[in-house]
Amino acid sequence: MRLIPSLSFTSGLVVALAMAGAAPVLGAAHNSDAMAGHMEMTPSRPQQPGDKQRAATIVAAARKAADPYRDYKKALADGYEIFLPEVKQNVYHFTNKAHAFRNTMEFDPSRPTSLLYEKVPAKPGGQPGYKLVGVMYTAPYEVSQQELDRRVPLSIARWHLHTNLCVPPHPSIDDEDLVGENARFGLRGSITTVAACRAAGGRFVPHVFGWMVHVYPYEKDSKKIWAAGMDDEHGMQHDAMSPDMPM
């Protein structure tokens, strides 16, 4: 089981706070320059014979896997967990740790690591709900691009990896150095190197979780189905993912 390197429970919570700090300030954190130096994306490859067919098979499997969970309460009942639901986000990840663990060893499109939901405002006298919009698949951070391409064709999709996290020495959700517009720490902070992190008294984590790819099977346009980076209208925040998720 791959965890974030050398993270205690407390430090794991710090990672969650560091990631969550981007949400209230910027919304879709990945759609801004704030993520510069903190995310790696796979380059697009020339399309190969069979890529479109493989991608279509994955989309069909993703939709079949997601369909039973249009009601988010069923997802919770079946063991999916939402982390930091109180943090405002564009998309919330309901994660199945058993699926995450399986994805460290093999790719099974019928078992996505996370279900992706957008929050629905509460009706008068009611509670907010969630609308199912997609799924997320994961892979260990150390796998090759060839393996990522074997799982999901890189001519169709782009995987992403969160990198260069500097954890502050005394973190707090109110720390402007972690959650402010000019933050130094966290996944939207200005610190992106080991040397700079040490100089600031922080602890450097080279990569958080593993490789991830979103699929939005209810979209009609292929570009929206496989949207990533600036093209992802839902955003790619991972504020809602448990720091002890196997990756």
Per residue in 202-215, pLDDT tens?
A: 999 998 889 999 99
How many angstroms separate the Cα of 165 from the Cα of each of 66, 71, 212?
31, 34, 17
C-beta pairs of 181-186 under 8 Å, 24+ apart in sequence = 181/25, 183/21, 185/18, 186/17, 186/18, 186/19, 186/21, 186/22
Beta bridge partners of residue 203, listed in sequence order: 167
What's the CA gap between 105 and 32, in Å, rounded? 33
Once rounded to an integer, what is the mean pLDDT over residues 183-210?
91
pLDDT confidence of residue 182:
87
Phi, psi of 117 (to 5 degrees): -130, 145
Q: Mark out the alpha helices in the chain (DSSP H runs).
A: 9-20, 22-26, 51-66, 72-77, 97-103, 145-151, 176-179, 194-199, 222-225
In terms of pLDDT, which residue wins out, 16 or 80? 80
What's the CA gap between 25 and 109, in Å, rounded? 34
What's the CA gap between 88 and 21, in Å, rounded? 10
Instruction: Quote the mean pLDDT of the chain.
Output: 82
76-118 per-position pLDDT tens digit: 999 999 877 877 788 899 999 999 999 999 999 999 999 999 9
